[in-house]
Amino acid sequence: MLALSIVLIPMTAAIVSLVLGKMSSRRVRDYFAVAAALITFAVTLLLIPGVRNGPIHFKLWEMFGISGMAISVNVDGLSLFMSCLISFMGFLAALYSLAYMGKEENLNFYYFLMLVFIGSMNGAVIAGDLASFFLFWEIMTISSFLLVIFNGSLEARKAGIKYFIMTASGSLLMLLSIGALYAATGTMSIPVLISQGIGMNSWLIHLVLLLFLIGLGIKAGIVPLHTWLPDAYPAAPSPISSLMSGVMIKVGIYMILRVLCQIFSVTVSWNLVVCFLGVLTILIGVIFAMVQHDAKRLLAFHSISQIGYIILGIGIGTTLGIGGALFHVINHAFFKGLLFLCIGAVIYRTGERNLDKLGGLAKVMPITFVTCLVASLSISGVPPFNGFASKWIIYQALIEKGGFLHMMFLAAAMFGSALTLASFLKLIHTVFLGGGSGAKVHPRGGEVSWMMSLPMVVLAGLCIVLGVFAFQVPLKCFVSPVLLAMNYQPLSTFAGFFNPMLAAGLLILGLAAGLVIYLLGNLKSARTDMPYVGGEILDDEVMSGITAEHFYDTIKEVEPFAYLYEREEAGRLDLYQTTMGGVRNTSRFVFERIEQSVDKLYAGLIRAGEYLVRELRKIHSGILPSYIYWVLVGLVILVFLLMR
Amino acid sequence: MSSTNVLLSIIIPIAGSLSILVWRRKQAHFALFTAAAAFLSVTWLIPPAMRGETFVSPYFMADGLSVFFAAISSLVGALIVLYSIGYMKKYRNLTEYYFCVTLFIGSMLGLVFSANLILVYVFWEMAAICSWRLIGFHRGEKDIWAANKAFLITFLGASVMLVGFVMVYLDAGTFNLAELRGSGITGLAFLLIFIGIMAKSCVFPLHTWLPDAGIAPSPVTALLHAAVLVKIGIYGYARFFCDVFRIPQEAGRYVAALAITSAVIAGCSALRERNIKRILAYSTISQLAFILFGLAVTGVIGMTGALLFIFAHALGKAGLFLCAGIIEQKTGTKDIKQMGGMMKVLPVTGVASALCALSVAGIPPLAGFWGKFLIIVGPIKEHQFIFAGLAVASCILTLLYLIRLFDTVFLGDVSHPGISERSSSLMLISVSVLALLSLLGGIFAGIPGEFVQVVRDQIMVLR
């Protein structure tokens, strides 16, 4: 029953907060929502001791008396791992919303949806049955869709509809696979399916797995199914982008783990395909991230790219690979959640998310700057932050696997990491440093309030702790138990890891040495001068220094990137637009050629009937002599017939 | 289950409709009273039906399936009558309107409780005549044309069906459904009866009358689409070909193929239309075909799904049409391109139609989800993968056109800033109840689910 309450508490609280918002003051409702999120997190933690003794499994309702379909709960290591992450990030996002969303209208609906969103994500990961998983998965989709279109602007609606149509169609395709598994095994129960295992012995099973991957991959943002992400994240309010990127897409990853590593016993070629998809996702994501001018769009592309690492880890399929992927799931939730919150803080103060118009915020918003820097270094895989630790494990898994293909994957993944760093240098530079140009937006007020900065500081602290004490805390306490629960070996049995604490110590030493040199030398009094542009006087923007923004624009001209960018801008790489074009043409064809021609057929029938009647009417001319002739003719025929 | 209860639920609406002709003063309230009484008398039948009791006599009968349909139709019908009181105020000729509406409900109840093919035919045609008067209610040239079209197509279908009934009689020597139960049916008789069902339930290519019938007043369209008329065909299929006759295996396969084609074609058409009522009409065609598909795939799962979706679709589609009626009356247009931002000026209508649309689209936790889920899983269980794929395609189309409709009508810039929801409380109550039932029916799916299980088990007993 305790397991169920991590779904029921937020769901009930959602309804209560809707009522509270109508009846009492805004503040009561806001604090109530945050408290509900906190209680959910606490209850999730309470579940840990129980699950240590073995998975919790119980059935709630046999669906309509159909055998093998039920609403049931199954909490094992993996589910609990995910739901801890969900509840924690949910609480931080709710706390952050207190201040961030303060100025918005319609907040009753916002908190309602947010709590439903948290509850449904928890529901999806503790579902013990594919039917109940699908149920919560769809609730998750609809509640996040409504959150994306929350502000009601045209941009948000377009992005939201794209998101909804893509993911909902994907889940319907996945439903086909769920049905096929049910048809093959007669059950939808996840533990039963895991213990039975599905062999890859017919082409149909391959198709089933492919459909699963499509449905889940759309949600997780695997290239080429990722195109909703860069539109939806910028449109959503920042705490929601942080939740979606931090945990929602991980629910997709969760199910991919279940399907690929537990339910199906996949073949080696499938592993390679998944690895390839992972690498493709890393590279495409980061290549597009580099040239973005919109801060949140940039982060969205990085989400795609980081998901690539997780997929790569899952694709490798060894203990190290899965462990790295799981670790990266935590890390990505923290640093990407943090990045969205930081950019949210910038938007909150400046109302601007266009990188061209931001600059020099480091002095005004020091906490935001430092936390954002930590997150940026972490996502770029710089030691000793957590991003490095998990990426390294994935690299090590690739090395351990060996072989030409895996080495190529390794090179590509490392290249992706370097590009990530390049991209985040640009973000840090344009938003927090640099500046001085006339076109910049000036922030209203200084640092954001504690309600917003507390979640940021907590997450930044976690990024450091999880990196420096990678083996002592996250790998030992979170990842290894989950691996054990999934029937893999714990990570501690592997030799040859790097030592993060030593690395951190050396880094601190190096930084200290640098600081000493900086303080002793006369670098402080650096001389500045006008840039030399061949003696010409150019416009102010150029003379005051070239921004990082412009610098990165040159990448757009490098082949083969140039080709990709051009295609992307024309919308030709977007699977959604192509498919929708196809649907539009098909529906026009069906409507005009089939539907309307059937209607015309009926009209034609009616016209034919009318014609017949008109012709027959001519006989009834009303002229007496002609009637007499008719009578005569009739008589003659009668006589002829009778005489015969 | 006693005979008086069953007879009462047929007699109340029919007698009520006749008395409207006599006491013309308070027709609206009288009609509401009649519809509510009909619903109550049907409710009386639900507990025994849930216990699995049945009632059989030479002319009338009641079992789970008939009580299930009767309960849905009379509930939605009563809510539509409540709505009509607000909506129809400004029109003339209301005596005829309320007479036809209550008689319409009465003929539906009569049909589901008929134990005899001839009685089924009689009520079938009674419904057609009522719909003919109601569709052409405004008496304009186009109205009359649409009414004639609807009447002629359904009438032609029904007369073909009557020939089918006669063939059944020639084979089995009886018209009584209870005696026919379990007997086989020839392919030709099946085809003839099925044509009647196609015409009534608007299966492609006999469906074109339904979008044109959208010209009728909104409560009438809601009645046609959700409560009474098109559900008759579905009831007919469930009663004849799932319950009574044993049809050849291939026949079910053909019906499923036709139904799912019809669903896809109607879905595509809904995506092209701009008239709000025509979009909803195509949606009905698509969803009904989807239900028929669920019934035709002949598994426990598909059957359960179809029955659940009948319940969800009746509530959801009635709600959508009634909301469309409110919008149409307030803005004076049916073109969705001329509407926008209705959520801000008509919030209750907006929320209600959002819930109803989500239910029809099959999004949890609303009622439509369970039906759609099972109807998609059903054919896979029967190893009909291509059908399942097409079913998914039709679901995606449903999502597309409903989201397009909702987006253009309710979101964006406000197109008619002057309007408000005041002075239409009866209409609002009615749509809110429908939306709320869609929501509760989904969250507590076990309650309708239990009834559906009883009905399904009664039907599946012979298989």
Please give the full DSSP string across A54-117, using - where no structure is assigned: S-EEEEEEEGGG-TT-EEEEEE-HHHHHHHHHHHHHHHHHHHHHHHHTTT-S-HHHHHHHHHHH
Q: Which of A76-90, A216-230, A471-485, B76-90 has the lowest mean pLDDT?
A: A471-485
C-alpha neighbours within 13 Å on the C-beta side of residue B57 = 12
Which of A15, A109, A135, A172 best tests the B interface by mutation, with the highest count of B CBs <10 A? Answer: A172
DSSP string for A304-349? HHHHHHHHHHHHH-SHHHHHHHHHHHHHHHHHHHHHHHHHHHHHHH
pLDDT at A53: 83
Contact in structure between B397 and A138 (CB atoms under 8 Å): no
User: SS in 3 state form for A246-303?
Assistant: HHHHHHHHHHHHHHHHHHECCCHHHHHHHHHHHHHHHHHHHHHHHCCCEHHHHHHHHH
Average pLDDT over residues A276-291: 89
The pLDDT tens digits of the residues spanning B305-351 come to 999 999 999 999 999 999 999 998 888 888 888 888 888 888 899 99
Strands B61-62 and B55-56: antiparallel
A150 in B contact zone (CB under 8 Å): no
**Three-state secondary structure along chain B?**
CCHHHHHHHHHHHHHHHHHHHHCCCCHHHHHHHHHHHHHHHHHHHHHHHHCCCCEECCCEEECHHHHHHHHHHHHHHHHHHHHHHHHHHHCCCHHHHHHHHHHHHHHHHHHHCECEHHHHHHHHHHHHHHHHHHHCCCCCHHHHHHHHHHHHHHHHHHHHHHHHHHHHHHHHCCCEHHHHCCCECCHHHHHHHHHHHHHHHCCCCCCCHHHHHCCCCHHHHHHHHHHCHHHHHHHHHHHHHHHHCECCHHHHHHHHHHHHHHHHHHHHHHHHCCEHHHHHHHHHHHHHHHHHHHHHCCCHHHHHHHHHHHHHHHHHHHHHHHHHHHHHHHHCCCEHHHCCCHHHHCHHHHHHHHHHHHHHHCCCCCCHHHHHHHHHHHHHHCCCHHHHHHHHHHHHHHHHHHHHHHHHHHCCCCCCCCCCCCCCHHHHHHHHHHHHHHHHHHHCCHHHHHHHHHHHHHHHCCC
State pLDDT tens for residues A496-518: 566 666 777 777 788 788 778 77
> In this predicted structure, what is the pLDDT of residue B234?
92
Is B407 within 8 Å of A157 when comparing Cβ atoms?
yes
What are the angstrom distances between the C-alpha of B259 and each of A215, A564, B202, B387? 26, 43, 10, 10
Domain ranges (residues) in chain A: 575-643
Q: How far is B385 from chain A (nearest CA, A)?
A: 8
Chain B: residue whose CA lies nearest to A149 = B411
Q: How far is CA A523 from the centre of its chain?
A: 45
Residue A57 pairs with which residues in a beta bridge? A74
Within 8 A of A183 by CB-CB distance, chain B residues are 380-381, 383
Structure tokens at A494: 């592997």
Query: Are B399 and A183 a contacting pair at CB < 8 A?
Result: no
Nearest-Cα residue of chain B relative to residue A585: B268
> Given this model, what pLDDT does residue A121 score?
93
| Residue A184 touches chain B, beta carbons under 8 Å | no
**Could you tell me if residue A221 is left (phi over 0), alpha (psi between -120 and 50 degrees) or otherwise beta?**
left
First-to-last alpha carbon distance for chain B, in angstroms, is 25
Q: Which pLDDT belongs to residue A310?
A: 93
B144 Cβ contact list (under 8 Å, min separation 6)? B136
Report whether A91 contacts A40 (CB < 8 A).
Answer: yes
Residue A492's pLDDT is what?
63
Q: In terms of CA atoms, which chain B residue is nearest residue A170?
A: B396
**Chain B residues touching A179 at Cβ < 8 A:** 376-377, 380-381, 388
Q: Which domain holds residue B418?
A: 248-463
* A552 shares contact with chain B (CB less than 8 Å): no
Closest by Cβ to B449, choosing from A64, A173, A176: A64
B269 to A179: CB separation less than 8 angstroms, yes or no: no
Q: What phi and psi, each to the nearest 5 degrees, are found at residue A57?
A: -140, 125
Cβ separation A169–B396 shorter than 8 A: yes
* Average pLDDT of the segment spanning A130-135: 92
| A172/B395 touch (CB, cutoff 8 Å), yes or no | yes
Q: How far is B31 from chain A (nearest CA, A)?
A: 36
Q: Which residues of A touch B381 (CB under 8 A)?
A: 179, 182-183
Between CA B261 and CA B203 the distance in angstroms is: 9
* pTM for this predicted structure: 0.90
Residue B88 lies in a domain: no
Residue with tokens 């710089």: A382
Instruction: Note whether residue B235 is domain-resident.
Output: no
Residue in this structure with the two tokens 């017949």, named with its chain if needed: A612
pLDDT at A438: 47
Beta bridge partners of B393: none
Q: In chain A, which residue's Cα lies nearest the Cα of B343?
A: A152
Q: Which residue of A has its CA nearest to B282?
A: A595
Residue A531, helix vs strand vs coil? coil
Q: Do A590 and B265 touch (CB under 8 A)?
A: yes
- Decide if B380 and A61 are in contact by the 8 Å CB cutoff: no
Find residue B335's DSSP bridge partners: B275
Tell me what the mean pLDDT of segment A133-151 comes to.
91
Say how far apart CA A571 and CA A360 lie, in whole Å: 34
Hey, are the CB atoms on B446 and A61 less than 8 Å from each other?
yes
**Is residue B120 situated within a structural domain?**
no
A637 vs A487, more confident:
A637
Q: Cα B300 vs. chain centroid, distance in angstroms? A: 22
**Mean pLDDT value of segment A112-134:** 92
Mean pLDDT of A342-358: 84
- Residues A368-410: tens digit of each pLDDT: 889 999 999 999 888 778 888 888 888 888 888 888 888 889 8
CA distance A255 to A245: 16
- Closest residue in B to A591 (Cα) is B269
CB contact under 8 A, A66 and B385: no
Q: Do A583 and B400 touch (CB under 8 A)?
A: yes
In-domain check, residue B308: yes
Query: Which residues fall within 8 angstroms of residue B281, CB to CB, at 6 or more apart?
Result: B210, B211, B213, B214, B221, B225
The H-assigned helical ranges of A469-547 are 480-485, 500-520, 540-543
> Dihedral sign, CA of B417, B419, B421, B422?
positive
In a domain, B455, yes or no: yes
pLDDT at B370: 92
How many domains are there within chain B?
A: 1
Measure CB to CB from residue B411 to each of A152, A586, A598 and give the nearest one.
A152
Rounded distance between C-alpha atoms, residue A379 and residue A268, angstroms? 30
Q: Do A602 and B149 touch (CB under 8 A)?
A: yes
Identify any residues that bridge with A56 across adjacent strands, giving them in sequence order: A75
As a whole number of angstroms, the distance between CA B197 and CA B204 comes to 11
Interface with A, mutate which of B152, B351, B373, B398 (most A CBs under 10 A): B373
Residues B350, B410: contact at Cβ < 8 Å?
A: yes
Cβ–Cβ of A152/B272 closer than 8 Å?
Answer: no
Q: Is the pLDDT of residue A435 over 80?
A: no
Query: Chain A: residue nearest B212 by CA?
Result: A599
Q: Which of A66, A134, A169 sits opposite B304 (nearest CB)?
A: A66
A536 versus A66: which is more confidently predicted? A66
What's the angle, vertex CA A64, arms to CA B56 and CA B306, rounded to 5? 70
Q: Find tokens 């007993």 and name the residue.
A: B461
* Per-residue pLDDT tens digits for A536-590: 666 665 555 556 566 666 777 776 777 777 777 776 677 888 888 888 899 898 8
B365/A131 touch (CB, cutoff 8 Å), yes or no: no
- C-beta of residue B173 within 8 angstroms of C-beta of residue B233: no
Q: How confident is the model at residue A277 (pLDDT cuts 50, 70, 90)?
A: very high
Contact A586 B268 (CB under 8 A): yes
d(CA A242, CA B67): 50
| DSSP, res A521 | S
Amino acid symbol at A553: D
The answer to whether residue B331 sits within a structural domain is: yes
| C-alpha–C-alpha distance, residues A283 and A275, integer Å | 12
B82 confidence band (pLDDT: 50, 70, 90): very high
Q: How far apart are the first and last CA of chain A?
A: 97
Q: Which residues contact A605 (CB under 8 A, 6 or more apart)?
A: none
Helix H or strand E segment including A365: none
CA B93: distance to chain centroid?
Answer: 26
Interval A154-183: pLDDT, tens: 888 999 999 999 999 999 999 999 999 898
> Hey, are the CB atoms on A175 and B392 less than 8 Å from each other?
yes
User: How many residues appear in chain A?
Assistant: 644
Task: Please provide the DSSP assignment of A33-50 as one string.
Answer: HHHHHHHHHHHHHHHHHH
Flag whether B424 is in a domain. Answer: yes
- The reply to whether A180 touches chain B by the CB within 8 Å rule is yes
Contacts of A475 (CB under 8 A, 6+ apart): A323, A327, A491, A492
